[in-house]
Amino acid sequence: MKPENRRAGRPPQDAAHRLARAHRILDATAELVLRWGYDKTTVEDIARRAEVAKGTIYLHWKTREELFSALLRRERVEMITEVRRRIEDGPGTLHGLLALLAAELLSRPLTRASLLGDSEVLGALTRRKRESTAAAELGGDFQTYLGTLREHGALRSDLSPAEQVTTLVSVLYGFLIVAQMMPPEYRPSDERLAELLADAGSRALAPAGPVPAGAARTAARATLAYVDAAVETAQRKLRVSLGTEESTQ
Amino acid sequence: MKPENRRAGRPPQDAAHRLARAHRILDATAELVLRWGYDKTTVEDIARRAEVAKGTIYLHWKTREELFSALLRRERVEMITEVRRRIEDGPGTLHGLLALLAAELLSRPLTRASLLGDSEVLGALTRRKRESTAAAELGGDFQTYLGTLREHGALRSDLSPAEQVTTLVSVLYGFLIVAQMMPPEYRPSDERLAELLADAGSRALAPAGPVPAGAARTAARATLAYVDAAVETAQRKLRVSLGTEESTQ
DNA sequence: GAATGACCGGATAAGAACATACGGTCAAAC
DNA sequence: GTTTGACCGTATGTTCTTATCCGGTCATTC
């Protein structure tokens, strides 16, 4: 309506520009959500901060919710990629993997909030579908990973695969939630917490007898393979959320 | 006002009758809270069901909240007493203690709700003072118990006492909360869950090397002593809540 | 004294009427 | 074809007012 539109339309915008713009929008979203929380962050706020029109956001995502889903998925990619990068320095054990995962989870407010169902930050988004939560998105590959470790004697064999997953998830959640509830003066540092968590988790699944020769090497390979797969999965889901790739289902 | 009072006043009521009546009121409270939840259960409902007048309840407790506190404390006494009874059949290990505690917690709706902060059942009571929650009421003795085990080589010594408590509390919470979140078809049975929990908890604190000779016997004695102390503590707090004993502080 | 239940007042809910905000659309501008 | 932002309808607050409820008290009864 207004004739003095600053600049409507024009440069056809190639794919690279489109992608950069999507990330700019996600940057703005992350910043505002961390400051005000999901409930109080409006699409218009985001548009203003990303310096695009509101309608432009809807050229990328069909609904507000899909926008936030993309944000969480991008965070998840960053997290698991960082784990992938740092795991090469370590021994490639379950213990090491848990410690890295915990440390990364603790240092990323959005991912942590999404995992813990922190309604302070994520508001109504928390109460939504639990299926597509971080646990579920990375959980599928995880069970097969544990299965591999078990087959090679790197894990105890008297728990079913499902029970092993339950055990690890419980330990993970337990430490994160309890730490959050503790008064700060009693709370261990994030590094120490990651260590305690990894310790408890790996001990819970440690094999009864001595580890077979060569199991360490096999385990390290399986761990790396799992993390690689998890990175791949996370990236694929992110590409779907960014419209870079069609959803295959 | 009404002249046709069924029967006001009379039998001076000795202490035994008083106590029996207090328990009748608590019975009624438990039943109604389990059915309707804390928020929806009124003092008048309770009075009606316990067949006393509303004012009579205030002869026992100064406020509604103190009444519920008494209820939770009574539950806690029953729980820990049952643990005390059943632990004599077992080996008196930390593993055995955890398994019994978990099993009892899982089978007692009110205690479980109070521990998990289940606002479905306990409503506003959940959001109140976290200090006097089950964890805190039994936690003091617990840390000294773990200290004893550690001194005798029955626990690893590379975690501080506080870290040991944090670890066990995290494992306990984690299993209970995660189980509650799982879809029922994946959830292990309560017995199995208690077993997994006890396994994870005891392994997390297991000593590095072999257990010193005689440590098992010492540990069993310490475990029994702890449970006895916990029973004693719980009973004392209950007596305070029932007006049987003055609060000493 | 002991027990009762009518009664009190503050808190909370229910309802109505109104205002605002926000997710999502689309005709117009380039 | 791309981008925009005014516009739409609904969902969500806000501000009153009114009604009900319920924790706690206490004069009355035995």
More confident residue, A17 or B82: B82
Q: What is the pLDDT of residue A15?
A: 77
Q: Min CA distance, B146 vs chain A (Å)?
A: 16
Q: Shortest CB distance from B188 goes to which of A163, A186, A199?
A: A163
Which of A76, A94, A48 minimizes the C-alpha distance to A203?
Answer: A94
Q: Residue A2 gets which letter from DSSP?
A: -
Q: What is the pLDDT of residue B203?
A: 97
Q: What is the pLDDT of residue A9?
A: 41
In chain C, which nucleotides are within 7 Å of a protein Cβ? 1-7, 21-30
- Confidence grade of residue A131 (pLDDT, cut at 50, 70, 90): very low
Which residue is closest to D5 in terms of CA–C1' distance?
A: A53
Instruction: Please say whether the beta carbons of A219 and A93 come within 8 A.
Output: yes
Contact of A38 with chain B, judged by CB distance below 8 Å, is answered with: no
Q: If you measure CA to CA, which chain A residue comes closest to B117?
A: A181
Q: Using the predicted structure, report yes or no on whether residue A211 has a pLDDT greater than 90.
A: no
For chain B, which ranges sit under pLDDT 50?
Answer: 1-12, 130-132, 249
Average pLDDT over chain A reads 86
- The percentage of chain A sitting over the pLDDT mark of 70, rounded to a whole number, equals 84
Which of B118, B122, B107, B137 minimizes the C-alpha distance to B236?
Answer: B137
Contact of B213 with chain A, judged by CB distance below 8 Å, is answered with: no
Q: What is the pLDDT of residue B244?
A: 81
A169 interaction partners in chain B (CB closer than 8 Å)? 174, 178
Which residue is closest to C5 in terms of CA–C1' distance?
A: B53
Mean pLDDT of A142-168: 93
The size of chain A, in residues, is: 249
Compute the distance between CA of residue B194 and CA of residue B164 in angstroms, rounded to an integer.
Answer: 19
More confident residue, B222 or A211: B222
Look up the pTM and report it: 0.89
Indicate yes or no: strand D within 7 A of the C-beta of B10.
yes
Q: What is the pLDDT of residue B249?
A: 43
Beta carbons within 10 angstroms of residue B171's beta carbon: 31
Q: Residue A211 gets which letter from DSSP?
A: P
Structure token pair of residue A5: 């539109």
More confident residue, A103 or A114: A103
- Confidence grade of residue A11 (pLDDT, cut at 50, 70, 90): very low
